[in-house]
Chains A and B, each alone.
Chain A
Amino acid sequence: MTETRATKGDFTAVVTANRHISSCFYKLILQFSEQGAQAFAQTMPGQFAQLDLSGTAPPPAERLNEQQADAVQRGIILRRPYSFCEVTTKDDKTTTVEILYCALGPASLRMTTLKPADKITVLGPLGNGFSIPQGKNTALLVIGGMGAPPIQHLAGVLSMEHSDIYPLVFAGAKTKSKLPFEGRIDEISKEIGFPIHAFARFGVESQIATDDDSAGFHGPVTQCLSQWLEENEVSAEQTIIYACGPEAMLAEVARIANAKKIDCQVSMERRMACGIGICQSCAVECRVGDSGQTEYKLCCKDGPVFDAKEVVFHLEKNGHKL
């Protein structure tokens, strides 16, 4: 008789590290054992988990600026959804997940106080991750700022498990210090190379783009992608684009992919309460085939990764940032 393999659930995770990386960026490393280890060992890049941080203490006031101090005064009840930048398992008995986060609001600022041996409960893995269709030989991975973690996870999986696919990363940010990567970032040329250690260690090439010309290509990452596609002959059929970042960036990546008839998957972000398809908070407007009609799908359950052709991107509606 075989035991039923745990696929998802609410598990206790032990913190093994939580370190400051640069500017507002931190990396939290969590370890699962037993059923949690089994469940999270199967995590696909782009899937996420709901972290319960309601019992985590806020940082001491002297470490905070005024805005942060106001933010942590607010109590939190909802869990927070995070995807992973790396997942590793030892025989399904111990699974380690790495979360790269930006400490900004009431929950993420609390998260900075977690220390090794602390325990939190984590619901997951949830949602649908990136998929890797048959017949692809080139994967273009496009990052906008905090969209980096799931793309980093994907780059690792592609390089280790899909040697037939050439992965190339385009990582964009407003400025060099807003590139959310751990490890050294080398002297950055305007060319493709190995400037980001987080990718270089897998032998994955990357190109950086910054809005302010503080590093790499000067301009939006989407322009960088466009230019690369103009200069390099790729078979549209054998190429796939994966993207995670602000919705305006995803919309532009989707437009570029569509014009070139290249498959494209985007990882969307929405405010979520439950993360499991119950609360209906995280609506993403999607096209219904070619009918001209649209419907709302749920970011948590139908996504967060969607086929770019399906999504109706909302850049700003009635002055509401989405």
Chain B
Amino acid sequence: MESNVDISVEFAGLKLANPVFTASGTCGYADELAEFTDVDSLGGFITKSITAKPRMGNPVPRIVETDSGMLNAIGLANIGLDKFIEEKLPLLQKMKPAVFVNVAGETIEEYVTVVNKLSSEQAIAGFELNISCPNVKKGGITFGTDPVQVKDITSAVKAASGQKILIVKLSPNVTDISVIARAAVEAGADALSLVNTFTAMVIDIERQRPVLANRTGGLSGPAIKPIAVYMVNKVYNEVTKETKVPILGGGGIRNASDAVEFILAGATAVAVGTWNFIIPDCAKKIIGGIEDYCRRKDVSNIKELVGAAG
């Protein structure tokens, strides 16, 4: 039985067809997943991190599986800004979902360079500021764990981003994520994205050394979901409920039930990450599943669910 369910959402002033994003680093730069799923069905799409210059990334092994999760230490391998503009932007132009470019760097200037150059591009709706990558020696997480630096980088990038939406992606590797969230919001973030991966280690007991060449990596997947849900709920209640800044919530989402949990915790939209590696078509299924949930619960508009868990 069909009933009218509205799962479109308003995200930082942007109207999205549905609340489901694919997370940075799990869906390529543009149309790489197109062979396996209908990318146009997504609400939002976040590119792999772009830095001003190309980066080779870390030596291998770059990943290791864990119970209910995986560690990665890719090291922001990417084609660099120029090649991104030349090869990927034209593809992004053709995509239906709202496209956000994930931006990373070693210095504030590097972030600003990338954002400046992309700020007038029609193909993109905004930026996701990666200040939470645990796998690089400079930049990344070092910006994201200190509220003063979060403020500085957020305001600098906001000033460079023109009319584009600025999402700040938070690291969970902090004592109090609300302190960081508040710093980002006060410095002008239009939305918050949480959480990035948890710093973790796996040791090979035969070789008696860490498995990853980088020694540590970022833990993602279902293993982190309850912690991510908690952090979204904490930031929602302590920071964004009042300031009306939307949260893009994620961490271990596999299916519509997981996605709904994040929305009930306070997320306006959700990002599917690691599971894209396993079921390339999963985001599309999640969109349908959210609709089914709304019908089952007699919810006519998904906005009613945001933060409904209290």
Residue pair A78, B281 in contact (C-beta under 8 Å): no
A79 to B28, CA, bound (A): 18
Complex interface residues of chain A between 248 and 303 (CB less than 8 A to chain B): 270-274, 276-283, 295-296
Select one of B35, B36, B221 contacting A77, CB under 8 A.
B221
The answer to whether A75 and B68 touch across the interface, beta carbons within 8 angstroms, is yes
User: Are B213's CB and A280's CB within 8 A?
Assistant: no
* CB of A5 closer than 8 Å to a CB of B: no
- Give the nearest-CB partner of B37 in chain A: A10
Of residues 49 to 101 in A, which have CB atoms within 8 Å of B's CB atoms? 52, 54, 74-79
- B192-231 contacts to A (CB < 8 Å): 207, 209, 213, 221-222
Q: Does A19 contact B (CB under 8 A)?
A: no
Is A283's CB under 8 angstroms from B26's CB?
no
A-B contact count (CB 8 A): 108
Q: Which residue of A lies closest to B35 (CB)?
A: A8
Residue of A nearest to B78 (CB): A280
Q: Does A171 touch B at the CB level, under 8 Å? A: no
A271 adjacent to B62 (CB under 8 Å): yes
CA distance A271 to B281 in the complex (A): 22
Q: When chains A and B are docked, how far (Å) is the Cα of A273 from the Cα of B26? A: 10
From residue 36 to 92 of chain B, which have CB atoms closer than 8 A to chain A? 36, 48, 56-57, 59-70, 72, 74, 77
Is A201 an interface residue, CB under 8 A from the partner? no
Contact yes or no, A78 B278, CB < 8 A: yes
B72 — which chain A residues lie within 8 A by C-beta?
Answer: 273, 279, 281
Chain A's closest residue to B73 (CB) is A281
Contact residues in B for A278 (Cβ distance below 8 Å)? 26-28, 32-33, 276-277, 280
Chain A residues 1-33 with CB under 8 Å of chain B are: 8-10
Q: Is B279 an interface residue when CB atoms closer than 8 A count as contact?
A: yes
Partner of B207, one of A274, A317, A321: A321
Task: Out of A281, A296, A318, A322, name the residue touching B63 (CB < 8 Å).
Answer: A281
A296 adjacent to B32 (CB under 8 Å): no
Chain B residues positioned under 8 Å from A321 (CB to CB): 207
Q: Do the beta carbons of B207 and A273 come within 8 Å of each other?
A: no
- Known contacts A8-B35, A75-B67, A320-B213: A277-B280 contact under CB 8 Å: no
Query: Which of A79, A282, A314 sits near B278, CB closer than 8 Å?
Result: A79
Q: Which residues of B contact A133 (CB under 8 A)?
A: none
> Within 8 Å CB of A271, what residues of B?
60-64
- The docked-state distance in angstroms from the alpha carbon of A318 to that of B58 is 13
Chain A residues with CB under 8 Å of B74's CB are 279-281
Say whether B77 contacts A77, CB under 8 Å: no
| Minimum distance in angstroms from B220 CB to a CB of chain A | 10
The answer to whether B28 touches A277 (Cβ under 8 A) is: yes
> Do residues B61 and A78 form an inter-chain contact, with CB atoms below 8 A?
no
Bound together, the chains give a CA A278 to CA B27 distance in angstroms of 6
Other-chain residue from A79, A295, A317, A320 in contact with B56 (beta carbon distance below 8 A): A295
Q: How long is the Cα–Cα vector from A296 to B54 in the complex, in angstroms?
A: 11
Q: Is the beta-carbon distance between B36 and A10 smaller than 8 angstroms?
A: yes
How many Å lie between the Cα of A282 and that of B60 in the bound state?
A: 7
Within B251-310, which residues are at the interface with A (CB < 8 Å)?
A: 274, 276-281
B85 nearest CB across to chain A (Å)? 19
Most-contacted residue by chain A among B77, B274, B278, B280 (CB, 10 A): B278
Q: Is A123 an interface residue (CB 8 A)?
A: yes
Residues of A within 8 A of B63 (CB): 271-273, 279, 281
- Chain A neighbourhood of B70, CB < 8 A: 77-78, 273
Residues of B within 8 A of A318 (CB): 59, 213
Which of chain A's residues has its CB closest to B275's CB? A77
Q: Closest CB of chain B to A5's CB: distance in Å?
A: 14
- Known: A77-B278, A78-B278, A317-B59. Is A276-B32 also a contact (CB below 8 A)? yes
Q: Bound complex: CA of A101 vs CA of B183, how far in Å? A: 52
What 6 pairs across the A-B complex have the smallest Cβ distances? A274-B277, A281-B63, A273-B277, A75-B67, A281-B62, A280-B74
Measured CB to CB, the residues of A under 8 A from B are 8-10, 52, 54, 74-79, 123, 270-274, 276-283, 295-296, 314, 317-322
- Sample of 20 A–B contacts (CB below 8 Å): A8-B35, A10-B280, A52-B278, A74-B67, A78-B65, A79-B278, A123-B280, A273-B70, A273-B278, A274-B276, A278-B28, A278-B280, A279-B25, A279-B26, A279-B74, A280-B25, A281-B61, A283-B60, A283-B62, A322-B60
